[in-house]
Structure 1
């Protein structure tokens, strides 16, 4: 059985992100320390080389045109102090001949000739790295007043310098490792202490159970406040969704309680009747009640899906509003004729909007249904689509009793019927659904009076809400 992968530790990740750069910096610092140590070793040992060179210079003479070299005791002591065989020297005449010393000891690289100036350079001699000191100097023959140029070269192997640099490096590394260890310990403790607010937040959330109240942000570090704010926003949305579900159940109970009681009563009456005609009458009433309840449930489900807390996002696409409204008007034409209502359609050329066809069909159908129901027999209902000033507008106009100005905002509330709607069969949800669909499309719904009497419902489309993304 495959073991589940263990979740990474934030404390461990923070420690590693600090440890790895520190180790990289330690390696880089070790290289710099070694370079500085070698430079210091060169400086110290070069002084010894230069002292040896100067001591040798004192023993060089020119007599009757011939060079004579006598190494002073000081130079010999310096050679003995540097372990003898690791010291090499050469005295070279101007013509390239070796007066004394090692013939193949390398000369310094090409450089401007400056008398009495010591030149230090690195080279290899007999497969050994050497540090060399060279100095050109003139030697005067007292008897003949002649002067000859002589090169004095002294070199030594670099093992003593490397040992000194290594000792300096090891001492520095031990000190730095101790400091890094202390720093990591401090960082570990700091990370552990810094994560305490996160642990407290985790315990607070775990103890809340089903509570969806906002989490207190008092005494929280500034870095944790965005996380807590995001949690609070999420819980607010979740709380809104829970309230929406509760509201739906309450609305469903309110909407279905009466129809179900009527259905039960009518079915009982039908069962008692022996006359077939009266049974059919009861069944017709039962069918009407079931149809009314079914429409109410459909509207409740639609409203529950559309309200802001449901999190529903429609797929918006460019469409022809005039064509859509014309199709819906044709679908409702038989209903209008059966109710004795003259249903017409008007448009002023093509009108395009960005929306979801199914929702806009439902919006238009609800407006036409309300107009047919409340305008009454003999009324005239007109569906009009136009683009006034480039702004798409859908209007459903009737010449019925209309809605009083003080009730025009209230009719958008759920189950509100108003004084003029009590005698008409309906659930009071149609305009609530219309407003929610308009909101999802960035549109506004305005109720106004029809010239000569009646109600004009205008749905004006504007810029789509930024929170709604249109599908391609």
Structure 2
């Protein structure tokens, strides 16, 4: 099925109304032409009626009628129509002429007033002029009334109206054709920028994704080009994110894969099973660390601003969820010699549980990993109220470790960045980057500050949900 043509649709939308207007104008023109023909022929018909009236005499109660046949013949010859007449007295007796020629269908006109009407005579449509004429008797001076009727066939009138209509339609038809030609040229010229834009896009290479030019485009086309450019920009950002993901994944896996290869080669050369097991233990740790790094990269990829991801928010108790995560990581903290504490105040936020668990888990994992042996780590959840502002929820992870220098606090949210105090510990440098992205998609903010007495405090501020969680 062929695509609809914009040029064809524009021409049809212009042609069909023009044809409709032409038909309406033809109907109106024919009505005006018939009215003009009636006016012209009726005046001549009235002249014939007046000539006939001059030949009627009354004497001693007897009518003497002397009709001007020559005038009637001349009129009939010039008009090309058939002439009919009738003169009858007040009793309806025909004195001369055609008995079938009817009287006016409406009330009789005043004396000497002419009534014009359409009638049918011998299956022929005729136009009739009628007058009531008072005639004075020359002998007795009495007055008698007679009817004088003159009719003609309507063919000449209709022929004149048709000639007028034909001339008008030819003139208007030529104007319509001229208008359509001008419109076709205008539409073709107006669509030229679209053709040029199409040719410009078709001539591009597959990897050429520069914005389409907007200069010189019609106002109706500019929004389309702007939308295409915005779409391409989003596509480029998505492609950049994919490239960045693959580059990050290669960076993240390069060292672990080298370690795995070296340790596996050592294990393969060992004949002793116990010594092989000693090689497999660090190999397992390396694989676990690499898997965690890849999982973190996948999380970051999903949370990219241009990924189009939107969390499925639901009201949940932040204190309950944070307490559960702290309980899961308590054994890890114990093995690392960390005193892990939790302080929770009931507060509800709108969040996706999976991402909120990952946010809390990353913050606690960072604190446990980098605070150092015998350090204290406290997870705190509280309602936060400020004058003139909505009530919010505050989640804090506080430690008394070495902290992060103020000059590095913006940089630590970047991918793979590890602060100067964290170089001696294992890690990928992705934890805080993930925390910031999770906070962003939930409308929360993340700030770093010093702990009183030394250490680092990470604060995440949420808006409090409007309703309590179900269940």
TM-score w.r.t. the length of structure 2 is 0.86
Q: Which residue of 1 aligns with 2:282?
A: 285
CA deviation after TM superposition for structure 1 residue 384, in Å:
0.8
Ranges of 4+ aligned residues in structure 1 off by more than 6 Å: 82-85
Secondary structure of the corresponding residue to residue 380 of structure 1: strand
Distance 2:317 2:61 in 1: 116
Q: Which residue of 1 aligns with 2:420?
A: 419
Secondary structure of the corresponding residue to residue 258 of structure 2: helix
Distance 2:353 2:115 in 1: 92
Contact residue 56 and residue 75 of structure 1 kept, 8 A: no
What does residue range 186-201 of structure 1 map to in structure 2 within 5 Å?
A: 186-201=182-197
Gaps of 5+ in 1: 465-472
CA deviation after TM superposition for structure 1 residue 245, in Å:
1.5
Gaps of 5+ in 2: 466-471
Q: Which residue of 1 aligns with 2:135?
A: 139
Q: Which residue of 1 aligns with 2:270?
A: 273
Q: Which residue of 2 aligns with 1:361?
A: 357
Q: Which residue of 2 aligns with 1:108?
A: 104
Contact residue 336 and residue 372 of structure 1 kept, 8 A: yes
Distance 2:319 2:147 in 1: 107
Secondary structure of the corresponding residue to residue 134 of structure 1: strand
Contact residue 347 and residue 464 of structure 2 kept, 8 A: no
1:250-270 deviations in Å (ceiling 9; x for gaps): 211221111111222222222
Contact residue 415 and residue 427 of structure 1 kept, 8 A: yes
Equivalent of 1:163, from 138, 159, 165? 159
1:200-251 deviations in Å (ceiling 9; x for gaps): 2112112221111112223333333222222211221111112111111221
Distance 2:384 2:96 in 1: 111
Residues 82 and 434 (structure 1), Cα distance of their counterparts in 2 relative to 1, 3 Å cut = same
Contact residue 348 and residue 387 of structure 1 kept, 8 A: no
Contact residue 435 and residue 445 of structure 1 kept, 8 A: yes
1:171-218 deviations in Å (ceiling 9; x for gaps): 232333333333333333333333322222112112221111112223
What does residue range 119-138 of structure 1 map to in structure 2 within 5 Å?
A: 119-138=115-134
CA deviation after TM superposition for structure 1 residue 161, in Å:
1.5
Distance 2:251 2:408 in 1: 22
Residues 171 and 84 (structure 1), Cα distance of their counterparts in 2 relative to 1, 3 Å cut = closer
Residues 90 and 449 (structure 1), Cα distance of their counterparts in 2 relative to 1, 3 Å cut = farther
Equivalent of 1:71, from 67, 70, 75? 67
Is 2:332 aligned against 1:332? no
Secondary structure of the corresponding residue to residue 165 of structure 1: helix
Equivalent of 2:378, from 377, 381, 395? 381
Residues 55 and 315 (structure 1), Cα distance of their counterparts in 2 relative to 1, 3 Å cut = farther
Contact residue 197 and residue 221 of structure 1 kept, 8 A: yes
Is 2:387 aligned against 1:400? no
Equivalent of 1:48, from 41, 44, 52? 44
Residues 252 and 73 (structure 1), Cα distance of their counterparts in 2 relative to 1, 3 Å cut = same
